[in-house]
Amino acid sequence: MDFGGDLTVLEPALVFQIVNMAGITGELKFVTPESVASFYFKSGELIYATIDTRKKKLGEFLVENGRITREQLDVVLREHATAKERGRIGNSLIARKYLDYETLVAAVSEQIKEVVYEVLAWKQGQFLLMKNILPKDEDILLDVKLDYLILEGLKRIDEADE
């Protein structure tokens, strides 16, 4: 661990801003008894995020947002269940021409944003930053300014409290 602490002392928005302003490259983990979220930064810019309690997998997210049909997802999931080497669902959807690359990128970006918004509401837990760790095998990376995500997430929290 290069840097860590308690979320009751430094809330997630402040931790994100520290990493951003310091221009750090690495993995920032937030850990609570219920969940673990990982955020990856390159030169202080958020490029990827994941959470272990993600409610919707990519395929479900695409169906719910009308990007693919349930039948198309089921076809790809059946193929994956029987394949010797399982690739990524998104790549299979593109290969079958059920989805284009730009739509896949937009969906993954939206999921990453939702992870940020969820973690911004956390009031308890721990965080730890490990420098120079980047996500493995991720070719779709976020291209949105972190300060925008923080403001949007805090706005959502305020609106939910009203």
Give the start-to-end residue ranges of the domains of the chain. 3-53+122-161
Give the Cα separation of 95 and 2 in Å (integer): 41
Residues 84-138 have pLDDT tens digits of 777 788 888 999 999 999 999 999 889 889 999 999 999 999 999 999 999 887 7
Q: What is the pTM of this model?
A: 0.84
Pairing verdict, β 3-6 and 126-131: antiparallel
Q: What's the DSSP call for residue 5?
A: E
At residue 87, the 3 state secondary structure works out as coil
Give the Cα separation of 22 and 41 in Å (integer): 11
Residues 67-78 have pLDDT tens digits of 999 999 999 999
Please give the pLDDT value at position 70.
94
Contacts of 102 (CB under 8 A, 6+ apart): none
Paired with 6 in beta bridges are 126
